[in-house]
Amino acid sequence: MLDILNGRVVRALRGRRKEYRPLTSVLCSSSTPLDVAIAFKKCGFTELYIADLDAITGKRANLSTLKRVASITGLELMVDAGISSQEMAERVMNSQVSKIIVGTETLLNLGFVKEAIRIFGKDCVIVSLDLVEKKILSRIESIKAKNPTVFSTELQEMGLTQIIILDLARVGGGEGVDLLFLEELMQNLNMDIFVGGGVRDINELQELRDIGVSGVLLASALHSGKISIEEIEEAGLFH
């Protein structure tokens, strides 16, 4: 997981973006996106989640950076760049990105999800269910009022096959994920589910795998050394 703000990789902390600072990491001495991506590649990762916080907050998207990272590292990129229109989705996809992420935080029209799936295909579209204290973060009042489980089921009925459950209030905190909430949410879903926000240690990664999570967005625990690449390899969690 890689968060870009003002062109640099930053350490995210509970969604409080004004407090984000350039990354310090045991994996890499640099905070430039390409250098951090190369470090992940050397660790054995094949996919990289990128949140372009500049684009998400209404600034210029880092499209040239995305293209450079993809072309030099060969990593498959899944990117959240505040995508809420076909035009923006096409610009991101044309930057050698493998999958676009449509975040509920920046979504302007729910119908766009179905349209994106039609245009780009179900394998290339992921929705990020952005949560704060189990409440959906959205500009659309009708979505904000929905139960996350109900809303996720509605997305599945639209044809969505991949979803990220992103708990922004836990990002960077390291206190662990809410396993009970995740299990409840997943009961009626038949899609690839990715989880992000607060992953504590290798044991929690294994627990997430055991309840059926397809992938985990890792950042702080890796950069701090709380989870090591060796532990991930020994647990057989690379895929």
- Report the distance separating Cα 5 and Cα 62, nearest Å: 9
135 DSSP β-pair partners:
132
CA–CA separation, 99 and 187 (whole Å): 25
* Mean predicted confidence (pLDDT) in 20-39: 91
Instruction: State the pLDDT confidence band at 1, using cuts at 50, 70 and 90.
Output: confident
Six-digit token pair at 148? 């996350």
- Assign 15 a pLDDT band (cuts: 50, 70, 90): low
Check whether 14 has a pLDDT greater than 90.
Answer: no
User: Encoding tokens for residue 162?
Assistant: 């991949």
Report pLDDT digits (tens) over 147-173: 999 999 999 999 999 999 999 888 867
Q: Domains of the chain, with CATH numbers?
A: 2-234 (3.20.20.70)
